[in-house]
Amino acid sequence: MDDRDRDLLKKMLTIRTAGLDELDCIRESWTSLKKMHDRLDRLTGKEPSRKSWAERRLELLNKADTSSLFEVVAHDDGRVAGYCFSTVDFQGVGEIDSLYISRTLRGLGHGSDLVRNALSWFEHHECGEIRLWVHPANVEAVRFYWRFGFFTHPEMVRLSNRSPVPKVQPA
């Protein structure tokens, strides 16, 4: 695909803020993300999680209790091509909870746009720390997040772009 095709394709998609009552519109995207994580789990000898969309949906809604930013990447006809769900908890910690772009539409800049929007939103909320969890075998995603200043916590396979939270002391 040349630059002109990429620009055209990019223009066919828009990023918009969605309401929590629209959460089901990302069900298909989340299911693809879950399948990807299941594959990575099997590759690394882990049992894939049995989490259903209904459970994940409830988790996201509960997390959104304090404050959330839910953005979707959509086609003209409303079909969803990706999303980013971010929250700030009651301690002021920001988290990118879930991020996904459809496989055939990757590399057009939407993932970066969503992360940049989330980072501005965290800044607006004066978050002291911003974190996210990435599957340890999802090397591309880890590299992707490094670009935004996130760094890894090897023991916890966590990415954070601020100072690490205190470790839990053994009892």
Residues at the interface with ligand COA (CB under 6 A):
33, 36, 99-101, 106-112, 134, 138, 140-141, 144
Smallest separation (angstroms) from ligand COA to the CB of 56: 12
Classify the phi-psi angles of 149: left when phi > 0, otherwise alpha if psi is within -120 to 50, otherwise beta. Answer: left
Encoding tokens for residue 108? Answer: 């057009």
Identify which of residues 110 and 171 has a Cβ nearer to ligand COA in the complex.
Answer: 110
Identify which of residues 33 and 127 has a Cβ nearer to ligand COA in the complex.
Answer: 33
Identify which of residues 103 and 167 has a Cβ nearer to ligand COA in the complex.
Answer: 103
Smallest separation (angstroms) from ligand COA to the CB of 169: 29
Q: Is the dihedral of CA 19, 24, 30, 32 positive or negative?
A: negative
Smallest separation (angstroms) from ligand COA to the CB of 71: 12
Smallest separation (angstroms) from ligand COA to the CB of 170: 29
DSSP element (H, E) containing 18: none
CA atoms of 69 and 123, how far apart (whole Å): 13
Smallest separation (angstroms) from ligand COA to the CB of 79: 16
Angle, helix 27-43 to helix 53-63, in steps of 10 degrees? 110
CA atoms of 108 and 114, how far apart (whole Å): 12
Identify which of residues 90 and 157 has a Cβ nearer to ligand COA in the complex.
Answer: 157
CA atoms of 71 and 105, how far apart (whole Å): 16
Identify which of residues 85 and 88 has a Cβ nearer to ligand COA in the complex.
Answer: 85
User: Across the strands, what pairs with 151?
Assistant: 160
DSSP element (H, E) containing 159: strand 158-160
